[in-house]
Chain A
Amino acid sequence: MSDQALHLSAAGPAPRSRAAARADRLRAMTAWALSAPAVILMALLLIGPVIGVVALSLTDYQLGAATLSYIGLDNYAEMFGDRVFHTALINTLLYVAVVVPGSVFLGLGIALLIESGTSGRALYRAIYFLPVMATLIAMAIVWEFMLHPQFGLINLALGRIGIPAQNWLTDGDLALWVLAAIGIWQAVGFNMVLFMAGLVSIPRFLYDAAEMDGVPGAWARFRLVTWPMLGPVTLFVVVITSIRSFQVFDTVHVLTKGGPNKATEVLLYTMYAEGFEFFRSGYAAAVTVVFLGFVLALTLVKIGVLDRKVHYS
């Protein structure tokens, strides 16, 4: 024991710290080796391309062209002067403005209804969640068949109650609303589950306290306890649904191709058509930057919400 102590003091502090420094250096190198694949892929496949998309939006590059030149903000000027882009922006905002409240309120209503009783909970939860799982493209084709003007289920069913048949996807006044309805059908189960998670975390004693204070009826309990406690979750659901709705593309691409007459042209569809059908990479990059701007703004709001949620619980 004393021998060891003597040995340590004899060795002095200097060599030990050198060994410690070497161990530190070794550990740092190991840590970097462990992180290296992730860091390299992140730089090559995420950060690089984001810089690339901004740089590209300032050029006139077209796939296959031998040269490209810097054209400043010309793509943006062209974009903001283009009727198609205006239509795409307005349609995207309309789609978001319909799908977000539609799927949030329905999701909340369904979550409350399912949680208000005990029977059939698991069954209902599974049924409403099913569209979240199912491949949207396959289901879009099923919807297309159901919306068929002559022998689609929807016109047949509406015919029974005396509503005349509609050309759901080829009528410019209807098509965007139909896509939004499919969007709500697909998103509502996801929002329901988020609200359920929020409902479960509301402490029981708040309801007991409300009852002791003589709060009458289910509506008052909802208004005084449930709704305020769900506030942060609601905000979070709204932002996350907005981000997802902004990315609407699949249903547009298989059901309407942006038509009829640009009635369902949305931002991502414009980007796809310009970039991957006409190969105007520079212009598509400029559309992407606008899209990215909207999604980034929403994501920053989400981070703010998430922070608040963390402080909340």
Chain B
Amino acid sequence: MTRRPAARHLLPAALRHLVLGLGAVIMLAPFVWMVSTSLKPAAEIFLDHIRLWPHQLAAAENYTTAVTRVPLLRFMLNGLIVTVTIFVIQVAVALPAAYALAKLRFRGRGLIFGAILFCLLIPPHAIAVPVFLLFHQLGILNSYAAMVVPFTISVFGIFLMRQFFLTVPDDLIDAARMDGYGEFAIVWRVMLPTAIPAITAFGIFSIVAHWNDYFWPLIVVNDQHLLTPPLGVVAFRNQEAGSDFGPLMAAATLIIAPLVIAFLFAQRRFIEGITLTGMK
């Protein structure tokens, strides 16, 4: 009597793990194969059978080639510079606007908010042609500025922080005013610390989006020293004409590593951040 329900539960549980496990193998296969190949010498890459762990480890050679034949570390530094600059400016622009829209009553507020809602509809690809022409006129193509400027405004960031500020009690702001804080001081010394959870969520979204972005840097940058990580791995592949797979897979591993490692360490926060803010 007691064993039958247990057995009834055991079968679905086993089936669940079987199906999910099989799916997990498919999801992970590219990652596993990428890392596995990045450890193999050329001779073992061109085998006609599947071998995961190489007989002869060539990790040192492959990873050295990956970071020396093209300036891969430079590309990653570029990625860091571009993503961090974008994020810092986005917050600096969005936070005061979000505060004003959430907490101050003024003529034109509805108009600004309406414009923000309209801008939420615009996909980044849709404005590529005119912004490219504008930057061409200004002579700032092929620069960090060309990669950063179009993303200095995140209407989504304003929207997200405004929603967050609506939940902040007015008493907090009134108390700060009583203490003699001006509106600017309130933004940076009261609202900024309060909004850390919203800013973190937005930061994850922003950094993931711009570290991984390929479309815009592809259009505006061609100087080798300005390439971002996605462009860098493609440049590496093109240089190799698709024959030196060990170093190529090492390069791919290095480029996905920062976000993947960050994700594995803080996955709960990442998933919440992406779902909260990724709902564009």
Contacts and interface: CB of A to CB of B under 8 A. Distances in A.
Interface in A107-134: 110, 113-114, 116-117, 119-120, 122, 124-134
A45 B153 contact: yes
B140 interface: no
Interface in A230-247: 236, 240, 243, 247
Interface stretch (A13-21, A73-81, A268-276): A268-276
B101 interface: yes
A181 to B, nearest CB: 10
A157 interface: yes
Interface string A152-175: 010011000000000000000000
A134 B31 contact: yes
A135 B259 contact: yes
B123 A30 contact: no
15 contacts: A28-B106, A34-B100, A49-B127, A53-B126, A117-B17, A133-B259, A135-B230, A137-B212, A145-B248, A157-B50, A185-B26, A250-B230, A268-B125, A285-B129, A291-B123
A32 B106 contact: yes
Nearest to B19: A113
B18 to A, nearest CB: 10
Nearest to B46: A151
A37 B105 CA distance: 18
A245 B23 CA distance: 22
A292 B93 contact: no
Contacts of B106: 27-28, 31-32
B interface secondary structure, majority: helix
Given A131-B27, A271-B128, 13 more contacts: A27-B104, A28-B107, A46-B122, A56-B133, A110-B23, A116-B16, A130-B31, A134-B260, A135-B230, A138-B229, A138-B233, A275-B129, A299-B121
Interface size class of A (residues with CB under 8 A): 35 or more
Nearest to B279: A240
B139 interface: no
Lowest 9 A-B CB distances belong to which pairs? Answer: A52-B130, A38-B97, A49-B127, A41-B153, A137-B230, A34-B96, A28-B106, A31-B106, A138-B252
Contact of A49 (B17, B99, B121, B130): B130
Contacts of B229: 135, 138
Interface of B: 12-13, 16-17, 19-20, 23-24, 26-31, 33-34, 37, 45-50, 92-94, 96-97, 99-101, 104-109, 112, 115-116, 118-123, 125-134, 136, 149-150, 152-153, 155, 158, 182-184, 187, 208, 211-212, 214-215, 218-219, 229-231, 233-234, 237, 242, 245, 248-249, 251-252, 255-256, 259-260, 263-264, 267, 270-271, 274-275, 278-280
A89 interface: no
Contacts of A124: 20, 24
Contacts of B270: 133
A31 B28 CA distance: 50
Contacts of A50: 122, 126-127
A250 B215 contact: yes
A130 B115 contact: no
A116 B122 CA distance: 38
A201 to B, nearest CB: 12
A194 interface: yes
A35 B275 contact: no
A29 to B, nearest CB: 8
B30 A142 contact: yes
B65 to A, nearest CB: 15
Contacts of A197: 275
Contacts of A291: 123, 125-126
B259 to A, nearest CB: 5
A268 B215 CA distance: 10
A114 B158 CA distance: 35
B243 to A, nearest CB: 11
A142 B33 contact: yes
B255 A46 contact: no
B165 to A, nearest CB: 12
Contacts of A133: 208, 256, 259-260, 263, 270
A160 B39 CA distance: 24
